[in-house]
Structure 1
Amino acid sequence: MKKLLLLFTLLFIFSCNQSTVDKKPIGEPDQKPTSDKVESDNFGIVIHGGASTILKENMTDSLEAEYKKVLTEAIETGHSILANGGTALEAVQKTINIMENSPLFNAGKGAVFTNAETNDMDAAIMDGESLNAGAISGVTTIKNPINLAYEVMEFSPHVMLSGKGAEEFAKERQIEIVDPSYFYTENRFQSLKKVQELEKKEADSINNATAFYDPFIKNSKFGTVGCVALDKNGNLAAGTSTGGMTNKKYNRIGDAPIIGAGTYANNKTCAVSATGWGEFFIRGVVAYDISALMEYKEMSLEEAAREVIQKKLPELGGDGGIIAIDHDGNIAMEFNTTGMYRATMNKKGELTLGIYKENENNTSQE
């Protein structure tokens, strides 16, 4: 009997001690499993400011310097965020803000005019880690459309909002609203008038559907802006912002806010932002196609980008370009036009700027 009492006593003491060990102080958070991701020093960022007929002989030295100044400011902003451990999503957003605030590019302040003499803007952003995305289209009062696209991604159950609904959501999220007159720039307005004159002449001489598109395809710059980034945690992100096409009608929406067409990011493969004739980028699902070629055909980023932009897109009849970065930090800046405003910075802080198409790899310092 004494032995049994001794055994029960020892079991009771052991149980109490174990219970004390298992308890944690009240209010102390539960310990979460350590993430598999380890921060590395590998990161990079790439931007574009549109691809079109850009020829050095048509560019003044002062204007070229202005473009390079804004491109440099934009990419250094994003690079600084990444270098200090910031996320790819933050870098993409803040970098695009710089270009949206410049009248040089067809996004935000420099957005082109529609046929109705308004400025209607689209934007999208995507997180390569979660595949979450946000997009907006047809907004007329949002100072920085990419910021609203981010809010849609983070704080709504939806992927895309448009027009008045998007602007109502912007007010709820306290996104900066401006009067539509903020977007007026004289050179964009004069471009609209020139394109409308060309459209009328062509419509009078050619009685077919392409007459509607040809004038602004031939004579308008595609100034869409975009950014792709890889952060130190190995996460990718892509963003694109645009004013669309000069003289667009019927609330036309291009590829920029269409996830998989003009904007796409996936940590398994790459992040892509496109610029060009949007209808063809939508039909070709260009941004996703590059990712799919990498995932399913095991192509490199360079091979996939070249296949889509130099072969598949032209076969459809489209022109333009893309910027992209893969999960290893490799980059692509591929275009089939005579130029694309572009820049990249790697983890070493080495800056490469480009405007014209002077060689095959499209990445020379100019």
Structure 2
Amino acid sequence: MSAKQLGRTLAYDVLPGDICKVNQVAYNQARASDEKGQKHRSRGLTRDTRATVMQALDGRTMLMLEKAKNRGVFSNMYGTISTGKEANVYRGTTFFSDLKLYGSELFTRNCLSKEDLVVIDEIEKSANLNYINRAIKVFKTSVLTFKDRSKYVEGEFRFRRGYLKSKNPRKMVTQWCEKEFRNLRRIVISGLRCPIPIYIKKHIFVMSYIGDGSNLENISKDVEKYDGEIKQDINNNTENAAPRLKDVPISLGRKSWVRLYIEIIGIMYIMFNECHLIHGDMSEYNTLFYKGHAYVIDVSQSMEHDHPLGLEFLKRDCVNVTLFFNKVLQSRKNQDNSVSLDNLNESDVDDEISILNDLFSTLNIYST
């Protein structure tokens, strides 16, 4: 709008065709005021763009998910697998015909010399399915649960820049997501059982899915926007996902429980000596049970083995794991007179040593 046009709009007693001039200074002030009032619209800070679904899916996150879908990372996104205070995990699938760069048949043993790791879990192929399952983890950006996480990265060389210097906790979410991605790569390369990292973008993290993949119900069409809010009808369809260790029934055999205990101790040993990592939160809540084995999850807080507080976190992990299994075996003792971890006899120890040898011979599932 020019000064001449503005003058016509401000003149009340001017007939059409008459000339009305506005001082250039007044015109510039009016124009600057109008631009200042419109500036916030381009910042993405309105209620429309910041509204979230379950504190995780806002407009920007949905756009990043759509771009990842277009790149072939996954084909469809389904209901929630789990929800937590830091992130939500959703189920996704991709079809074999859609596989391009992501999901290529590269084994981790071929990637030992580089950080870039693009692999898939071959369980779906062995099950003769026409799709591959994905787990899509979206870290929450609307809650400030990351402001007290400095103790997990303080003194760590990989995150020596930026993390502690950032005063905005929301900016830490991206680095926390990257931390879990890089930790999982180390664990996968060592051959331990865990979700395989596939794709990362800011606070979105795609990995392989642990569990069976039937009864999928697409809910993408249920996402709608109204009255400045984003709402989604999500069915918590988790009956086919691998259960956490705390949800495994106690009726599982005593030998299976002891086998799991020894396997988790072996996992922590290999993480410390080969991955140079300490889990930091190893418990029945962060371990999945699938096909008779333990799978490590939630390693975003895992730290280097030379962390100043690393040994304290390692001791806490050992105590938490031992207390859980001792509690389970004590419960089974009341059912079938089995033993606890405190009173194993020599024959039990011999049995567990043989189990341990078998486990370490098969623990590296990606070795050729």
Structure number with greater Rg is 2
Q: TM-score, normalised by structure 1?
A: 0.28
Q: TM-score, normalised by structure 2?
A: 0.28
